[in-house]
Structure 1
C-alpha cells in the first residue's frame, strides 16, 4: 500500500528517476483493487438508484482520469530502470507492443547506476 501512496502523493507526475519492479507491480495491484472496489460500490449504487450502470461508469471514469498521470509516470520510471527511454512506452500503440512492454516490466532492472540515476534497490 505504501508503494501506491508513494506513487500517488510523492511522485504523482515525476517522470525522472527509476522505479523497481516491486514499486511498479504494487502500484498496478492496488490500482486494480481500487477499480474492483469502485465497480462494486458503483454496482450497489446503480441498484439503489436504478441508473443502469451510469454511476459505475462515472466512478470508473473519474478514477481513470485521476490515476492516468501517476500510472504513466511509474511506467516510464520502470522503463528507466531498464535503461530504456520513456519513449519506449509508445510501443504499446503498435500490434503486440503491449506484450513487449509486459516483458520489459517483468525484467530485472539494470544493476548499479545508469543514465537515469542510481539503482533503486
Structure 2
C-alpha cells in the first residue's frame, strides 16, 4: 500500500530515487482503474444501444469525464516516478523522452525500467532500499 501512496505524496517531485516496485504498483493501479472504467463504459453503451436511443446518456458522459480526470490526475505522478526510477540507475530523467521514438521507444524504456538500480548512493541521492547493493 505504501508503494501506491508514495508517488502521490511526492506528486511533482522529480528529484531523488524510486524503487522499481513503486513504478509497477502505480502502473497496476492505473491499468486496473482504467480497465474497470472501460468495462463499465462498454456496459453503459450496451444498455444504451439495447434501449434504442442511440444517444449518449448522462451517465456515459460523467463516466468519461471521470476517467479523463483520473488519467490527467495521474499523469504528473507517473512521469515523476519514472524520472526518479531513471535516477535510481544513475541516469538522467531526460531518458524518458525515449518514449517518443516510434515503435521501439517504449521497449527501450521498458528495458531500462527492468534493470536494477545502482547500489548505495549515486548522483541523485541515497539508495531507496536503504541498503547497499553490490552490482552483479
Q: What TM-score do the two structures reach when normalised by structure 2?
A: 0.78
Change (3 A) 1:55 1:42: farther
Which residue is equivalent to 2:26? 27
How far 1:79 sits from its partner (Å)? Answer: 0.5
Residue 80 (str. 1) matches residue 87 (str. 2) = yes
Unpaired stretches in structure 2, ≥5 consecutive residues? 49-54, 130-136
The answer to whether the 8 A contact 1:46-1:54 is kept is: no
Q: Which has the larger radius of gyration?
A: 2
Tell me how far apart the structure 2 counterparts of residues 71 and 22 of structure 1 sit (CA, whole Å). Answer: 13
Unpaired stretches in structure 1, ≥5 consecutive residues? none
Which secondary structure state, in structure 2, belongs to the residue aligned with residue 117 of structure 1?
coil
Cα distance per residue 1:83-115 (max 9 Å; x no partner): 110111111111312111000000100111000
Which secondary structure state, in structure 1, belongs to the residue aligned with residue 119 of structure 2?
coil
Q: What TM-score do the two structures reach when normalised by structure 1?
A: 0.86
Which residue is equivalent to 1:40? 39
Which residue is equivalent to 1:68? 75
The answer to whether the 8 A contact 1:19-1:81 is kept is: yes
Which residue is equivalent to 2:121? 113
Q: Which has the higher helix share?
A: 1
Aligned length: 120
The answer to whether the 8 A contact 1:43-1:56 is kept is: no
Residue 91 (str. 1) matches residue 98 (str. 2) = yes
The answer to whether the 8 A contact 1:3-1:23 is kept is: yes
